[in-house]
Amino acid sequence: MTSPSELASHLLARLGMQGKPDIAQVAHRVGLRIVEVDAEAFDGSLVRALDGPKGIVAVNRAIREASRKRFTIAHEIGHYLIPSHRNLENVCTVGMIESWQNGLTGPEVEANEFAVELLLPAGYVREPLRLHDPSFEAIGRVANQFETSLTATTLRFVTLTELLCVVVWSEANRARWYRRSDAFPFYLSKDILPCDGSLAYRLFEGGRVPDDFAEIPPEAWLDRRDAARVARALEHSLRLPNYDAVLTLLWFQLRDFGGEEDDPPNLEELDPEDFTLRRKRWPR
C-alpha cells in the first residue's frame, strides 16, 4: 500500500516538478481550484465535484501566514488524492492542519504527512537541512526557501535525520504533540511536559534561553530509567508569539554500556567527552 508521503513524491515526479513545488499549479493540474473565503469554522475545506475528477479547495482568508495557507492547500490536496479519503467530508479546523496531536483521526494525520512531503520533497531538502548537524538556522533557511513554517520544516528534519532527535510543540506550558526520529528509542510522557529544568519551561515562565542548543538534564524530558541511558541531552527552544507556543528541538546521545545496559555504571563517573560523537562539533 502506498503511503501518503510516497503518493506525494510520485505526484511531484509525474508532474515533473523540481525544487520548491508550485502548490497552486499542483492543485490546478490535479483538477482543483483554490479560493479564499471568510470562515470561522474551518481553515481549509475540500468540495468535490459530482460530475468528474475536479473540485474546490476553500482556504480561510483570515490565515495570516502564507506558509500556513500553503500547508492548508497541500493538506486538502492530500484528502483529494489519497484513495481512502474519497468518501470523507473534508472540513478541517485549525487543530487538524499542521498538527500531530493525539486525537487526530487517521485521515487528518495522513493528509498532514502528504503535505509535508509535497511541500518539502525529501530529495531537495536533505542536504540543506544538514541532517547530521541540527540547527534552527539551517532549518529556518529551508523554511524560507520552500515557503513553509518553521514547525513543518523542523518536523521534516526529524523525519529524515538519523540522529536521536525529537520535535515538541507546547502550548500553555503543556506539550501538545511531539514527533521523534526513527532512531530515537524513547517515548515522552507528554502530559507532564515541559518539566522544570527544560528551556521550554523557562520560556513559559518568562525567562530567557540561549539562542542555540544548550545542555539540559535528560530528566527534563525523559523518565528516570530512560534518562539513565543518555550521555548528553541538548535542547533548543523558540517562543512562537503568534501561537502562544514553544517549538522545541531535542537532540540526545546515548551511553555505550558495552552490552551491560541493564546494569549501567555510575552516571556521575562518566564524562560525555569520552564518547564518540556523530558530529564534528558537539555544542558546549
Q: Kindly list the domain boundaries of the chain, sorted by start residue.
A: 4-119, 129-274
Per-residue confidence band for 144, with pLDDT thresholds at 50, 70 and 90: very high
Mean pLDDT, all residues of the chain: 87
pLDDT above 60 (res 18): yes
pLDDT of residue 268: 46
CATH tag, 4-119: 3.30.2010
The residue among 105 and 150 whose pLDDT is bigger is: 150
Per-residue confidence band for 259, with pLDDT thresholds at 50, 70 and 90: low
Q: Do the strands 32-37 and 55-60 form a parallel or antiparallel pair, or are they unpaired?
A: parallel
Helices 4-15 & 66-81 angle (0-180, nearest 10): 100
pLDDT above 80 (res 269): no
C-alpha cell at 72: 492548508
Average pLDDT on 157-165 reads: 97
pLDDT above 90 (res 28): yes
pLDDT of residue 271: 45
Backbone angles phi, psi at 112, to 5 degrees: -65, -40
Helices 4-15 & 106-119 angle (0-180, nearest 10): 40
Q: Which of 92, 7, 112, 4 is nearest to 46 (CA)?
A: 92
pLDDT above 80 (res 192): yes
Q: Do the strands 245-254 and 164-171 form a parallel or antiparallel pair, or are they unpaired?
A: antiparallel
The residue among 5 and 39 whose pLDDT is bigger is: 5
pLDDT above 70 (res 267): no
Lookup result for grid cell 504533540:
177
Lookup result for grid cell 479519503:
85
Are residues 156 and 150 in contact, defined by beta-carbon separation less than 8 angstroms?
A: no
Are residues 199 and 237 in contact, defined by beta-carbon separation less than 8 angstroms?
A: yes
Q: What is the pTM of this model?
A: 0.84
Q: What is the pLDDT of residues 204-217, one digit of tens each?
A: 999 999 999 999 99
Q: Which of 193, 192, 237, 229 is nearest to 211 (CA)?
A: 237
Q: What is the pLDDT of residues 41-81, one digit of tens each?
A: 788 888 888 776 889 999 999 888 899 999 999 999 999 99
The residue among 227 and 93 whose pLDDT is bigger is: 227
Fold of 129-274: Beta-Lactamase (3.30.450)
The residue among 38 and 276 whose pLDDT is bigger is: 38
